[in-house]
Amino acid sequence: MRIAITGAAGQLGRALCAALQPVHDIVPLDHAALELSDPTSVSRIANTGADLVIHSAAYTNVDGCARDPVQAYRINGLGTRYVALGCQRIGAALVYISTNEVFGGDATQPYLEYDTTAPVNPYGASKLIGEHAVRECLAAHYIVRVAWLFGGERNFVRTVLRLASERRELTMVADEIGSPTATPDAAAAIAQLIDTGVYGTYHIVNAGHCSRFELARTVLDGAGRHDVVVRPIALADYPRPGRVPRYTPLRNLAAADLGITLRDWRDAVAEAVLALR
Ligand SMILES: NC(=O)c1ccc[n+]([C@@H]2O[C@H](COP(=O)([O-])OP(=O)(O)OC[C@H]3O[C@@H](n4cnc5c(N)ncnc54)[C@H](OP(=O)(O)O)[C@@H]3O)[C@@H](O)[C@H]2O)c1
């Protein structure tokens, strides 16, 4: 298949290119090649002649989106509509990468694909507008929600290791719970999913969930940094420009029914930490 990938230079985009390159004809679209907020991106997508587009680019800075919700809407909402319309023009299928942050965070069980969305910040709201645009424009779509990605240059795992190289004591939020997910694992699962032709909404995350505090402790233990103390704090003690949904683990039900499952997050973290040592 000819597959165009937006956000090809981003954290997940790089993993997608690596996973799909051996089998498919890849058209990588980085930010220089495609500006989502520009309506001409409809033609840019159509000109790729792709059979399938994976739309991974987004304005992912959650605090930046909170400071400038209109820009978040332009890039993640309208921009996704342009990508979907480009696909419509050439009859391409679309994989839209969405987020755990479309959910409200007040659940007590991991969210299923069909649970009601209720974003609490402009990032989540703009990504949800993107989901709506995809559903409105194209029948041939996969909406793939991922969460707490690690595997690239800028992510929580690397931040914890950097902080640990600077100080002996860290504070981490203990009441924000999510599904840490390795980008190579998500990319491999998406590679399987696009071969099925079973369009719909999916949760592609490593199995299990944890708090930021537990994730930090697991990263440090994996790196042999038992000397670094991690102190738990509450979300309320860590003021940010936008609200953060408290509890957003995702449960993979729909992809698992197709035989697509991901390993436990602890195994994925252990492997990522080892690779960085
Ligand atoms: N990271 C997470 O934990 C997480 C969690 C849930 C869902 N997601 C979703 O997963 C996808 C991939 O995330 P990621 O972590 O790989 O993000 P990332 O590393 O920030 O990559 C996003 C890419 O999008 C590009 N981009 C930003 N604004 C753009 C614009 N206006 N036009 C075109 N390209 C633009 C960026 O280019 P520049 O850097 O040059 O601006 C970057 O290469 C996103 O859709 C995100 O919403 C991520």
Position 231 in a domain: no
What pLDDT, on the 0 to 100 scale, is given for residue 242? 85
Active-site hit among 123, 142, 202, 247: 123
11 lines ligand 1 (CB under 6 A): yes
Cα(10) to centroid(ligand 1), Å? 6
pLDDT digits (tens, 9 = 90+) for 26-70: 999 999 999 999 999 999 999 999 999 999 999 999 999 999 999
Domain carrying residue 13: 2-154+180-207+243-262
pLDDT digits (tens, 9 = 90+) for 104-134: 999 999 999 999 999 999 999 999 999 999 9
Position 120 in a domain: yes
Report which ligand 1 atom has the smallest distance to the Cα of 123.
Answer: 47
- In the residue annotation, 123 being an active-site residue is answered as yes
Give the distance, in angstroms, between the CA of residue 1 and the centroid of all CA atoms in the same chain.
Answer: 23
Cα(54) to centroid(ligand 1), Å? 12
What pLDDT, on the 0 to 100 scale, is given for residue 113? 98
Position 7 in a domain: yes
- The amino acid occupying position 170 is L
Please count the structural domains in the chain: 1
In the predicted model, what is the mean pLDDT of residues 208-224? Answer: 97
What is the domain-level CATH number for residue 75? 3.40.50.720
What pLDDT, on the 0 to 100 scale, is given for residue 276? 85
37 lines ligand 1 (CB under 6 A): yes
What pLDDT, on the 0 to 100 scale, is given for residue 65? 98
pLDDT digits (tens, 9 = 90+) for 5-31: 999 999 999 999 999 999 999 999 999
Residue 14: other Cβ atoms inside 10 A? 22
Position 172 in a domain: no
Cα(228) to centroid(ligand 1), Å? 31
Q: pTM score, two decimals?
A: 0.97
Cα(7) to centroid(ligand 1), Å? 6
Residue 25: other Cβ atoms inside 10 A? 13
Residue nearest to atom 34 of ligand 1 (CA): 31
13 lines ligand 1 (CB under 6 A): yes
Q: Do the bridges between strand 93-99 and strand 149-150 make them parallel or antiparallel, or are there none, so unpaired?
A: unpaired
Position 44 in a domain: yes
Position 132 in a domain: yes
User: Which of 31, 63, 65 is the pocket-test mutation for ligand 1 (most atoms within 8 Å of CB)?
Assistant: 31
- Among 152, 186, 130, residue whose Cα is nearest residue 11: 152
Position 117 in a domain: yes
Position 23 in a domain: yes
CA-to-CA distance for 128 and 120, rounded, in angstroms? 11
pLDDT digits (tens, 9 = 90+) for 129-174: 999 999 999 999 999 999 999 997 888 999 999 999 999 999 999 9
Residue nearest to atom 42 of ligand 1 (CA): 10
Cα(171) to centroid(ligand 1), Å? 26
